[in-house]
Structure formats: C-alpha cells, structure tokens
Amino acid sequence: MEPRRIAITGSHGLIGGAQAGTLRAEGRDVVRLVRREPRAGDERRWDPTGRDPEANAAALDGCDAVVHMAGAGVADRRWTARYKRVIRDSRVLGTAAVAEAIASLATPPRVFLSGSAIGFYGYTGDREVDERTPGGTGFLADVARDWEAAAAPAERAGVRTVLIRTGLVVARSGGAWGKLFPLFRAGLGGPIGGGRQYWSPIALDDYLAALRFLMDEADDVSGPVNLTGPHPVTNREATRAMGRVLRRPTLFPVPAAVLRVVLGEFSQDVVGSQRVLPRRLLDAGFTFEHPTVEDAVRAALARRG
C-alpha cells in the first residue's frame, strides 16, 4: 500500500519543493517540516540540531513515509572552514535528528528516504562506479559517509531506509545546473576545465519519479541507491547538448585556474570526474523518461516551475 501521509524536510529547496507539489497533485497528504514556527496548516516545526527530540517526534507522528532532503547548498558559498562545517552539520546532525525521531515512535513510518550524494565516491576519473563501489576520499566523500551513517537509528528500528545518492539534477529553477542556463542562453557557455571530466546528470522529473518509485513500489530496496541518469557524459558532451538545445554557441572554455579563484576548494569537485551508474534503480525495474543529457535539458525547458 502506497504511503498517503508523507513528511518532507527541505521542502523549500529545488527537490523537496518539487516533490511536495507532485505528491499533492496525486492527492497525498504532505507534511512540510520547517525550522521556524509553522505558518501554514501543512507545516510542523522540527529541530535539525536534535536538541528538541520531542518536537521532532511530534512532527513525524502519523506519517507513513519520510523524505529527508534538508542541507546547506554545497555551491551556495565559497568553502571557508566555517561554511564547510555548516555543510557537514546541516546534513549529519539533521539526518541524525530525523532518524532518531523515527526510531522513537511507537508506530514509525514504513520507509525513510534519506538524502546523500554521489560525492560519496570521490574522484572516479573515467571508471564507471555503482552502489557496490567503496567510498572515495575528499571533503564531500567524508561528509557523505558520515551523512549516511547518521541514518542508522531508523534502520536499526526496522524502518526500510534508502540512502539517496543524488547526482547532478538538471533543472532550470535551482541547483547547480540551474546556474548554467542563463550563461548558455547568453552564449557564454563552454566546457569547464579540460571538459573531459564525467558528469552524472538526471532530469528533475526522473528524479521525482524515482523517489516515488522507491517509496511506493520498490519494497525490497534499502541502503544506497544512485539517483543519476543511465548515461553519464563528459562535461564537453554536456556542453554540446546544452548548445544544441538552446541553439547557442559553446566556444568559450572556462579555465580551471579561473574556477579556483571564483570557487576556491569547491572548484576541485567541479573539474573532478564522477562516472556514476544507477545500477540498483535499473535492477529494480525503474524506467527513465529522459535518459540522455539532451533529453534532460529539453525536459527542464519544457517543465513549468
């Protein structure tokens, strides 16, 4: 039986907001967890630091599923030592708070979809990796490892826990890819660094459909699941696809040295390479509507909101 009452953290972000809208359109009851005092009937306050476990348990009480997507954006600011701590704590402490609240409930939700990222794998070069591949090294890999471990209380309580390793979500209205569309529309898009690094994109609509598939249909799936499209591409190939769809030139490469000046340490991840496959999603029977990067870009342009 598909979950009818679903709690979502991060509902003001790209993915959480889109997921809430999609679930409501299907007639489901969405509970949005917010850090401030609730202002709407569908909001409940939660404490991502975990200092108020009673509030967190009350916020999740009666929910059939929990989709946890809250976390500070990795590309929102330059990576100072302070902001790196914000990135880590917003994920690890927030996940622990939700997982512990789930475990404390007399009637816990049936499924917990907990956010993670393909940063778990670190730099992979042109080597294909999937969920069987061990974790890599680097700041984001370390964060992802701790982030996933923080979900353990829910799993130990017997709740089916799925760790959502998110790739590059192709959308116009937010996320890292959303920042590319204005540049390409202006004719300023081009390969980043050498352009040979692999990206692992997924259309926003496919991402949302995969979340619902994992929540509703894949009852035997738990643990890490890569939410990427089935066809990773090089940055140069992604650039060409953007140029074709938007009918703009892609002549101006962005040198890695410029990225280091603008982005600091985060530039290592932009010019890094991750060739990630959604093996478990495919094995479970999920079908992509927009499997290629060009399909994903066209879907992003066609999508309202």
Q: Mean pLDDT across the stretch 282-287?
A: 98
Apex 250 CA angle, 247 and 256, nearest 5: 150
Predicted pLDDT at 129: 98
Q: Is it the case that residue 262 has pLDDT exceeding 70?
A: no
Task: Indicate the SS3 state at residue 44.
Answer: strand
Q: Looking at residue 164, what is its pLDDT?
A: 98
Helix (H), strand (E) at residue 29: strand 29-34
Q: Tell me the pLDDT of the chain averaged across its residues.
A: 92
Least confident of 128-142, 149-163, 187-201, 256-270: 256-270
Query: What one-character-per-residue DSSP string does 138-170 give?
Result: SHHHHHHHHHHHTTHHHHHTT-EEEEEEE-EEE
Nearest-angstrom CA–CA distance, 192 and 263: 13
**What's the pLDDT score for residue 23?**
96
Burial class of residue 1, CB neighbours in 10 A (0-12, 13-18, 19+)? exposed
Q: What is the CATH number of the domain that holds 200?
A: 3.40.50.720
pLDDT in tens, 200-225: 999 999 999 999 999 999 999 999 99
Q: How many domains are there within the chain?
A: 1
Residue 147 has pLDDT above 80, yes or no: yes
- Smallest CA-to-CA distance from 96 within 139, 61, 50 is with 50
Residues 31-41: tens digit of each pLDDT? 999 999 999 99
pLDDT at 76 over 90: no
**pLDDT band for position 264 (cuts 50, 70, 90):** low
Reduced to 3 states (helix: H, G, I; strand: E, B; else coil), residue 225 is strand
Confidence of residue 145 (pLDDT cuts 50, 70, 90): very high
End-to-end CA distance of the chain: 30
pLDDT for 73 equals 83
- Reported residue count of the chain is 305
Range of the domain at 188: 5-302
